[in-house]
Chain A
């Protein structure tokens, strides 16, 4: 994809709705200051960065789907600077292809519930669409049982940690009331104390998509149960980056606690000593003051590509909870390993491995 000196890129149409473009074909400079979603901005920075490192500027196409054949396709192709590959940055609602080019997809927002749900609908409605793709970037989805899935390619490492220092809250769950849980939790803000130590910490980076996954919720609830009654252990949940369209902390806390309540954890009505919510990314370095044994846990929808391997160094283990029927587990493990620089342990699903699945490639 990046070796030919040219690449066509497309973005979700809704993200460009308010952007004044010079035409159907444009450059990275034309959208450098455009207001797009944070996830898309990160994905753009990543891909454009790789292109530039490879010595060329990508060519953007606003609506590749309108150049499907004949003269319009010929017109477009002439303007792609010789690109033989098209990478569609997709939010799951559509995957657009350019005939005659090798087409690839980067599903950059699967941590968002809306994107994940949209993709599921798309898979159901147009199962053959995915067969037309050469590769999928940073994902290892198995699209529609029986059909060959596109090979996985890992591209990662923009290291987009938030500027704001994360806040911490003790989790106080009321199994009967989400609102009460939210109120109690937000009242339990805490500051990290010097000298506070745990034997083990599980740091879980949640995504909005994962909150809709019942099995993941149950797995999380079990971990919560453990720390309530074992003061040597801690569970720190990094709340998702968004709750629907909102990035408001309260909304994100509410979404997280609603998922926990739904999973019916067997915990007392009290703030747990070692069960916390945090509002921002934490690295193992940041947590090293609290423990020497910190595991990083994430759902399969976590956007591993947002961070360089440096962010994942220092964790004792990297564990990923997956639903294997949607995932090519072997390829997934490989691309996450290459993105994190560490081997990963897959937990959760895993009863339908595909030994014939295509292997993943590491790009970076």
Chain B
């Protein structure tokens, strides 16, 4: 008989899935694929029918799921079976300690150690119940070693209850087929940059580095996944036109567009100060693209030998690392390492720790 487990899929209720909702999707799909659990789903301890969750997984967004729950499920809610262990794909919030066997997932500790990069509401959401949540967790899943280390710094007493829960990449099968038949993007080689206006993503390092002579010599353009902020406009306006032309911003893009941009890029630039895991790095590596990565938080752990690293606060180190990775010979050398490294993260590695915990 398969061990029971209820997976809380609260993050899937977001309209657009990025970050934690995508993690939750992959977790759900990994557990379904493992076929080793008697799996049920819930949201804040209210049962959610399997069919609804499967449909949400197919659609890849949470609007339908959320409206179904709001309009139908909550009219006649069914509480979860308290004898089944419950795993939360993120934090538990106010539901701590209501079930005999609970586990939650910690993605990062930036609200505690980098509060300057969050608003107070977000900090309160993550931290106000943290102690109560940790106290009632039989297991605490951390999405990387880096997150585990940070959590242990904050709460040493939980160390022995922590298990790792690494993510994996899964592009839809159709993407490769469709992309193959489209024109190539841009005759000028470009690097794709993960960066938004969030300070933690450290896009300002790249913006500042554009004025560096070593960066200027590298014949590579930059396509930034994300919106320009007004401060970026001001800064770019002060650069010479040839430099301004080196950087483009995409705004919000769909998964397919991101896939295509990655597929056509030379490499990924990931200057982030702190990531819980760094799934964009894995996404790039799955397509054979090395990563120019900040040597910080979880990035070395994920990228391994498939990248070139730099101090995220040093323009000169960034410039030197960029010159190194932009060399076609280096890219050729790193591409196999990128694919190999990406292959080390798979759905089995995500499902196994959860199955092991559910088995008790």
Chain A positions near chain B (C-beta within 8 angstroms): 12-14, 17, 21-25, 62-63, 65-73, 75, 93-94, 96-97, 99, 125-129, 131-132
Contacts and interface: CB of A to CB of B under 8 A. Distances in A.
A69 B156 contact: no
Closest 8 CB pairs of A and B: A23-B314, A69-B149, A65-B113, A71-B300, A66-B296, A125-B127, A68-B149, A24-B313
A291 to B, nearest CB: 46
Contacts of B343: none
A213 B261 CA distance: 57
Given A22-B314, A94-B115, A96-B113, A71 B295 contact: yes
Interface string B229-248: 00000000000000000000
A89 to B, nearest CB: 14
Contact of B156 (A22, A70, A93, A128): A128
Contacts of A65: 109-110, 113-114, 150, 274
Contact of B112 (A63, A66, A125): A125
18 contacts: A13-B114, A21-B313, A23-B311, A23-B317, A24-B296, A24-B313, A63-B313, A65-B150, A66-B294, A67-B296, A68-B150, A70-B146, A72-B297, A72-B299, A72-B300, A94-B112, A126-B127, A128-B157
Interface string B105-145: 00001101111110000000001101100000000000001
Contact of A129 (B110, B153, B312): B153
Contact of B130 (A14, A23, A126): A126
A70 B164 CA distance: 15
Contacts of B115: 93-94
Nearest to A127: B131
A132 B153 contact: yes
B127 A69 contact: no
Contacts of B33: none
Given A22-B316, A70-B149, 18 more contacts: A12-B116, A23-B317, A24-B314, A65-B150, A68-B146, A68-B297, A70-B145, A72-B295, A72-B299, A72-B300, A93-B116, A125-B127, A126-B130, A127-B131, A128-B155, A128-B157, A131-B156, A132-B153
A13 B202 CA distance: 13
A63 B273 contact: yes
Given A72-B295, A93-B115, A94-B115, A66 B311 contact: no
Given A24-B312, A125-B130, A66 B116 contact: no
Contact of B301 (A62, A70, A131): A70
A299 to B, nearest CB: 26
Contacts of A13: 114, 116-117
A296 to B, nearest CB: 35
A191 B230 CA distance: 51
Contacts of B150: 65, 68
B154 interface: yes
Contact of A126 (B112, B273, B311): B112
Interface string B272-298: 011000000000000000000011110
B148 interface: yes
Contacts of A68: 146, 149-150, 153, 297
Contacts of B116: 12-14, 17, 93-94
Nearest to A21: B313
Nearest to A68: B149
Contacts of B156: 128, 131-132
Nearest to A17: B116
